[in-house]
Amino acid sequence: LAKTTQPISMDSYEGQEVNITCSHNNIATNDYITWYQQFPSQGPRFIIQGYKTKVTNEVASLFIPADRKSSTLSLPRVSLSDTAVYYCLVGDMWGRGFQKLVFGTGTRLLVSP
Amino acid sequence: NAGVTQTPKFQVLKTGQSMTLQCAQDMNHNSMYWYRQDPGMGLRLIYYSASEGTTDKGEVPNGYNVSRLNKREFSLRLESAAPSQTSVYFCASNIGTGDQPQHFGDGTRLSIL
């Protein structure tokens, strides 16, 4: 699985848009990009995933350029409750009966008033 | 909607003691996973079970054993606990096809003195 690189930490203020970029230079054809969020004392929670172009759901957008060597998680109008660690991961779309994910250290997002 | 339930939530052990961490899911998922998370780190896969009746080693299996008791339950056993196994342990599950998100429990915080 491709290794991912993302910023260790980011700071923002309430109401701002936050973009977290992840690098995955060695992504394979069968790989997809997935993002998880983790609050203190909780397990990670799935946010969004995609293979190419743009994916949007009720909480975030994911932008993936044509070469797929990076991706950007966009959180619109963050609030204090978005303070968490965000993990960018690459998964094998054709995983044979299981999903092997490799978690890095993630990006620690701090949202201030 | 229970999702993934882990017991106990907290435990303190002495070096050399044994213990079994329990995990159960009620989503009819095929695959289940055990991770550990050390302070300031991402999650590392200990063992996984792609389907009922099968188990395989992950990234850091030494010192652990697992049992997939049935489709719902996947337990993690420490036969002789060591201080290096002090960590937060997360159980997760997913349908089992390649790109389906994992659902995590809230973790077991284990301290070994």
Question: Chain B partners of A87 at a C-beta cutoff of 8 Å?
Answer: 42
Report pLDDT for A47.
Answer: 96
Give the tens place of pLDDT for each residue, A5-42: 999 999 999 999 999 999 999 888 888 899 999 998 89
> What's the confidence (pLDDT) of residue A98?
64
Distance (Å, whole) CA A45 – CA B74: 20
Is residue A93 less than 8 Å (CB to CB) from chain B?
Answer: yes
Q: Indicate the SS3 state at residue B84.
A: helix
A 10 A CB-CB count for A14 gives: 13
Q: Is there a contact between A49 and B101 if contact means CB atoms under 8 Å apart?
A: yes
The length of chain B in residues reads 113
Nearest CB neighbour to B102, from listed A92, A93, A101 = A101
Contacts of A90 in chain B (CB under 8 A): none
CB B32, CB B49: distance < 8 Å: yes
